[in-house]
Structure 1
Amino acid sequence: MQFIDLEAQYLHLKEKIDARIHKVLDHGQYIMGPEVKELEEKLAEYVGVKHAITCANGTDALTLAMMVLGIKKGDAVFCPTFTFFATAETIAYEEATPVFVDSDESTFNICPIDLEKRIQKVIAEGKLTPKAIISVDLFGLPANYPELERIAKKYDLKLIEDAAQGFGGTLNGQVAGSFGDIATTSFFPAKPLGCYGDGGAIFTNNDEYAALLRSYCVHGKGTDKYDNVRIGMNSRLDTIQAAILLEKLAEFPQELIARQKVADKYEAELKGQFETPQVPDGYTSSWAQYTVCCDNRELEMQKYQEKGIPTMVYYRTCMHQQTAFTYLGYTSKDFPIAEYLAKRVFSLPMHPYLK
């Protein structure tokens, strides 16, 4: 059994994906070919925003968002501690300070109550300038954006949605990737919508942000590509990956239905045995992971291993516990819910082709 069965997905879409790849090989426009523009248009339509700008990977997508918002040294950017390293890494890369926030125990996402306390503390200390919030749609479930948007507006902060895991999820009918001032996603192969390499995208309704993003992605180019008007980076989605994603995106709605059926089956079988993931009213999850909580995690994972069923832990170490962020001076008492989750969660196989 595969934890995520990309081979089964490929076999299902093989004829269409192969045809797309061969079309790129025929026209030879491997960088910024027509499939890239086509994908951006279809991504924007799917998410429901004006602009979708593709890039080289999900980490670059977050970095580009930081650049567009002018995040810099002396700024505080608030983000969850229970998430993947890239969320905080991109903040530090801009020489800003990540301010970690505890988790909501039931959804695992950033806790709005703790977030507001952290913002108030930074303001009271007066050492950093509160600038932005990065929220992560963990394991497929969008965060509590009504509350996050209220808080962002109250304290005049920009809101960035990291929808890499939540892509395909919804909140009150609004699709992940459409929340906040800017949203990002990753097309890493294991994501709900993934390519066969690295890839990413940024979403926004802001015309100015979109223009800046397109410039920053290609070395800060101006209207003349040989006149670079700002310092940018080299972050473009390969045409072949765009071609693959076009076929995967077309199949994506059906895959989300299949993922939900797997999650429903897990819930029916495992409720009472573990703390199973709950989806609040008004939400849908894209089920990037099916993550349960329990005591004696290692023992339970061993039982699955003995049956040939792979399991994974996301995430065993919180951001505030990472060696790279020890300089921030957090202690084990600062994030009780996140540390509680990190000691108890593990994930079971989840993909649309799970029998």
Structure 2
Amino acid sequence: WPLGAGLAAGSGVGGLTRFLEWFQPHLSLREGHALCCTSRGLRGSVGPALVLMGRDDRVLAMAEAEQCRQVRLTPLQTSPRLVVADGFLSPVECRHLRALFAAAGRFPARCAARLLPNTSKAYVRLDLKAADWLPPASQRLLQRIRARIAAVTATPATAFETPLEINYTPAKGLQVGGIDHLTLADEFGLHLDANNGRPERCATVLIYLNDVVEDPQACVGGGTVFPLAGVSLADGDAVYQAAEALLEAGIFHTGRPLRDAAANPAARTGHRYTVAETADAARRLLAAANHAATAAPALGKVVQPREGRAAVFWSRRASDGQMDPASWHGGLALHVVDKAHQGKLTLQQFVEIPQQFRKSDEARAAHIAGSLRQNWTTEEVTAGGVKFRWRAAAAAAAATAASS
């Protein structure tokens, strides 16, 4: 359903209106082309397709003609395999994508912005196979971004994957003096990227389009949390066991067992666990995520949004091709004092295993192993106007601050 209709029915209209009020001076539309958020959605005189300023088109064209800029990729974690790339997108590329989202109310119906079910989060899908409504500069930018994603994951685009997607998470109010971190992960929950009926996803590239700088007195949350980073079953950790229990029960989102337990806690999942047991496992994961959101967590990792930064992580193991229980993750709710804060914008791509590797778990494992091998042995790879250089794993520990 259209973004405007959803916003009119919930609290999202306030958050998106504040975003547009903040973003209006930065919006790359031709002079005189106003854009606003109304009860009927995003409105403006920009026409059926987004009309970007010639300045942005020229800057993007100049960037295409330049020699490849260098971007360093830093491995942060081996389980799940997590890599951070600052500068994956340039500032002008981020601004261009923010403008695409802000003008989403003028897109054709098949590309209109929509609300995620049961949330105030909105998204716009940018399908390269049906992007004729976009200006040529925007189409070329999306193609370059997809080429970069294929390079850093060593996995080509497939016909089965979902398109690139811009997501908007509105900010929430924050009382001056801070917030109880134990509430941060509860709204959106945690998930594995095989959810929503997409079992062949093997990696995810999450790119932040604006800064979210944490300040205990003004801004808390907004990062992407991996509560099981650094945790293993060998440690006998109860959180890891909870993650495996949910996987065994075929559960890929913490919200499902909590809803089921509220309805019938004695029911069984079809596996050896009762609904009450899976709900308890989900609560353990959420508690671990909220702990990871604290200032000095002993376990877990949070990647904080920085404009142009990409978080690249793998959701399957190279050892057996199975889903990695350590890849449970989620977005921390963003709380701010200043209600004019623009919220958080991200661009994401779910990467799927190529068709020829889907015949067996052994074949899946072979593809994942090849994808990960590049991450640790390839000195550099060039794609989409960027030369990616891999930072040695030994040096990565000293660069952990890149995630905060």
For the superposition of Structure 1 and Structure 2, which TM-score range results when normalised by the shorter chain?
under 0.3
Greater helix content: 1
Q: TM-score normalized by structure 1?
A: 0.27
Greater strand content: 2
